[in-house]
Amino acid sequence: MSEKPIFVTQPSLPPLEEFIPYLEEIWSNKILTNDGPFHKQLEKALCEYLSVDHISLFANGTLALVTALQALRVTGEVITTPYSFIATSHSLLWNGISPVFVDISPHSFNLDPHKIEAAITPKTTAILPVHCYGYPCEVDHIQKIADTYGLKVLYDAAHTFGVRDKIGGISRHGDLSILSFHATKVFNTFEGGAIICPDAKTKQRIDYLKNFGIVDETTVIAPGINGKMNEIQAAMGVLQLAHVDKSIACRQEIDRLYRQDLEGVDGITIPEKPNTAQHNFSYFPILIEPSFLLSRDALYENLKSRGIFSRRYFYPLITDFPMYRGLPSANLSNLPQATDTAQKVLCLPIYPSLKREEIESIIKMIKAHT
């Protein structure tokens, strides 16, 4: 096994020699940000790759979440999941919105649509689900509830780049969907993110909001923010897009090897593959059950001591943090499935440059405790 530490995710980087001409072009045209040529090129390329009509690029996914809530004029209470990265709920607090937490499904890592209606109050204006690990939410069920109660649906689709169902891309669902292009994602622009927009009018409003609300030199129409993606990020994205299918294929093979060798191991539950036309294999979560020789945390520490940095993703729950745990919906009795999953989950390393011998070593270390 390599002497270098192995992390749960690693940036997917194209060859340096391929990136240098992009940097030279940026230096030559002297346009560094503000909707430059690479920004325009990446928006167009992503629309084609993701089969969407409109996309607005952002400096990061969190700014995209904050801006999307403003674009939809969401207020009051929003129903969301405790089983996610904290940016999901932080975006609500930044907008003065109260999160209302609902448990996840026992058969997935996603918001349980059967629990949503009981959480709706007169103050509820939207639902903010997460396609966790790229596993699609029950989008039809959620949309039906939203239509019945007149609610907006905003998807945190940070994990779903390139994921498709039988009809098209998962990010087409909801009023808006937010992507993350963070360095550890399947597709990255170092930092970055985007909002999938349903129409040109919505994209225009979002583009204003991410640029301080500026329309022209003398007109400002809203208290916007600086959420723009710069040209170096955009150039990285243009180059990454040429490599992303190969990257996903590498991840798929790693997923296959893990499943093949860990299937049937006592005390380890491997979630079923998502029922999608195309998955992106962004993460490989397993659940460490009580029958396993070590606890989840003990296995995590054991792997770490050997240079394998897995991740308890998502642990702690969002509702365990001080700014959320006092909310009525954060009570553990309200979130039994999320609480149980957070105590068991362990995401194993999965990224294109992970070598086969490293994968075999990880599997061997895990099996040594069975």
Q: Rounded mean pLDDT of 154-167? A: 95
- CATH code reported for the domain at 244-367: 3.90.1150.10
Q: Rounded mean pLDDT of 14-39? A: 96
pTM above 0.95, yes or no: yes
pLDDT tens digits, one per residue of 183-234: 999 999 999 999 999 999 999 999 999 999 999 999 999 999 999 999 999 9
Domain range annotation of the chain: 16-241, 244-367
Tokens of 272: 């079923």
pLDDT tens digits, one per residue of 340-366: 999 999 999 999 999 999 999 999 999
**Whether the Cβ atoms of residue 130 and residue 111 lie closer than 8 Å to each other:** yes
Tokens of 218: 């003398």
pLDDT tens digits, one per residue of 234-278: 999 999 999 999 999 999 999 999 999 999 999 999 999 888 889
Q: Rounded mean pLDDT of 175-190? A: 97
Q: With bands split at pLDDT 50, 70 and 90, how would you rate the model's confidence at 36? A: very high
Q: What is the pLDDT of residue 370?
A: 75
Fold of 16-241: Aspartate Aminotransferase; domain 2 (3.40.640)
